[in-house]
Homo-oligomer: A and B are copies of this chain.
Amino acid sequence: MTNAELLQLLSDVRAGRVSDHDASAQILARIRQLPFEDLGFARVDTHRELRQGFPEVVLGLGKTPEQIAAIAERIVGHGQALLITRAEPAAFAAVQAVIPNAIYHPAARVITLPQGEVPRGNGTILIACAGTSDLPVAEEAALTASAMGNDVDRLYDVGVAGLHRLLNEQARLYSARAIIVVAGMEGALPSVVAGLVQVPVIAVPTSVGYGASFGGIAALLGMLNSCANGVAVVNIDNGFGAGAMASLINHL
C-alpha cells in the first residue's frame, strides 16, 4: 500500500465517501491480503511474477503427478508462463490432461508453456558443459534461461582434458553477457572459463562421475574452491537455478 493510495483513501474518508470502519478494514485487508492461492497442499504464489519478474516455477521432485497438474492448472489459469522442472513422464501425462498444449522436453525433464509477455534479457547467455553426460543439466539451464526471455548459446563437450576444444571457441565465450558452466567429475571447467572472460560465471556441478565423485561433491568442492575470480556456484544438478540466476543478471 503506497503513500498515494493511503492519501486517496484518507481523502475519501474525510469526504464521507468511505466510512471509518470500511477504511480501517480496507487497510488491514491490504496488509493481510493473500498474494497466493491456497490449494491445501500448496500455496500458489500468483504474485511472484510481479515481485520477481517471472511466475512461480514448479519443482516436480517430491510432488505427485496430481499435485503438479493442479498447481500447473492454476498458473496457466492466471495467464502466466508455465515452467516445471524435474518432471517425470507420469507428471507430464497428468499435466497434459489438463493443459493439452504443454510441451515436454524429456532429456531435461522439463515442461514448458510460453504464455503472456516475458521481458527480454539484454545479451546472450552461453551454456557450456564439460561432457556429453552433463547434457541433461545443461539443457535444464538452457530451457530455463530461454523461458525467462534470454537468448541462449550452447557449447557442449568442451572439458579441460582436451583444452583445444574450448580454446577454439573463445569468440563465443567473449560474446556472452553471462556464462553457465556445467561440469561433473573434477569440475575444473568453470575455473578455466572464468580465467578467460570478463563476465560472471555461474558454475553448476553435476552428479556425473563415479567412486570418489560422491554424486557431485567432488565437482561442487572444485567449483567452490575455484582459483579464478567471478565464479559463483549453485546446487549439484541445479540447472534451473543457474538459468534463473543468469537470467536475473542478463535482465539488469
Q: What chain B residues lie within 8 Å of A62 (beta carbons)?
A: 131-134, 184, 208
Chain A residues with a Cβ closer than 8 Å to the other chain, count:
111
Q: What chain B residues lie within 8 Å of A6 (beta carbons)?
A: 24, 27-28
- Render A15-54 as a binary contact track against B, CB cut-off 8 A, 1 for contact: 0000011011001100011111000111101001001111
The B-contacting residues of A in range 165-221, CB under 8 angstroms, are 165, 168, 177-178, 184-188, 191-192, 194-200, 202, 205, 207-221
- Render A62-90 as a binary contact track against B, CB cut-off 8 A, 1 for contact: 11000100010000000000000010000
Tell me the number of copies of this protein.
8
Whether the pair B234, A224 counts as a contact (CB closer than 8 A) is yes
- Render A124-150 as a binary contact track against B, CB cut-off 8 A, 1 for contact: 000000111111000000000000000
| Complex CA–CA separation, A111 to B202 (angstroms) | 28
Whether the pair B188, A191 counts as a contact (CB closer than 8 A) is yes
Whether the pair A212, B227 counts as a contact (CB closer than 8 A) is no
Whether the pair B248, A225 counts as a contact (CB closer than 8 A) is no
Whether the pair B161, A227 counts as a contact (CB closer than 8 A) is yes
Q: What are 19 sample pairs from A and B whose C-beta atoms fall under 8 A apart?
A: A10-B20, A52-B229, A54-B229, A86-B210, A161-B192, A163-B163, A177-B252, A186-B187, A186-B188, A188-B188, A210-B238, A211-B224, A218-B221, A218-B222, A218-B225, A224-B236, A232-B232, A232-B241, A252-B252
Tell me the A residues contacting B by CB distance below 8 Å: 3, 6-7, 10-11, 13-14, 20-21, 23-24, 27-28, 32-36, 40-43, 45, 48, 51-54, 57, 59, 61-63, 67, 71, 86, 122, 130-135, 156-165, 168, 177-178, 184-188, 191-192, 194-200, 202, 205, 207-238, 241-242, 244-245, 248-249, 252
